[in-house]
Structure 1
């Protein structure tokens, strides 16, 4: 369980935003094949929040039923995975990477490790890229960034009047 807080999050483009109040339960890394496919990654970090403490603050996700028991919410505009939902339960799982401050929630467990990548224990031994991005490239990316900032905004994209 993570400490009680009021957390916000959302998708990369800002079309879907949410707020989660209170405790996030069972922050974990799921290595199952469905989560790998849904995340487009090797695992999916998730944590649950009670539905009564969860609010969509902008937009609405699209849903995909990855099984008869589970649906996954994502942004229909940019594709960001946002939710793992078991209809009928009193909680919804948030993808931890979609939080505005993902570093604030530390996983406490791993699940479905039978599909975990066999080489994960070697990651810390991989060499690091010798050169960081050049300032010119960093400035060009910053000047053309279309990603929603890691905080709530009244209007998005910036410059819109509605």
Structure 2
């Protein structure tokens, strides 16, 4: 194929300019349950059959549907987090997941991982936040942003 660059994981300029359609994340649910267990990433609660798949960095903020930005969540945590910026400690945990596992899932379901894009988006988002801004750290919990000690993914 002559246009192999079209398959590269590059920012979606058209989506940024003209808006994106939300896609159904159901295809991710079962492979994630098999790989990580049927538990909420945030609180550990056992998940029902049709639990939400959550965008860790909010879709409304970055629009990244790659596996590196997705986790299984219970309805309670998913609703409570909504579009909130997650605590840096949550991003640490998300980005520490085994990339080989994510790549295997990606090849099985034909879904991009977009790990580098998630890292770049997280760096951009957290670097411009004022110190002390509240971030979501769990159900009904927040913590103040402190990036005096850079996260492991910088």
Is the TM-score greater than 0.5? no
Structure showing greater radius of gyration is 1
Which has more helix, going by share of residues? 2
The TM-score by the shorter chain falls in which range?
A: under 0.3
Compute the TM-score of the two structures, normalised by the length of structure 2: 0.27
What is the TM-score with the length of structure 1 in the denominator?
A: 0.26
Q: Which has the higher strand share?
A: 1
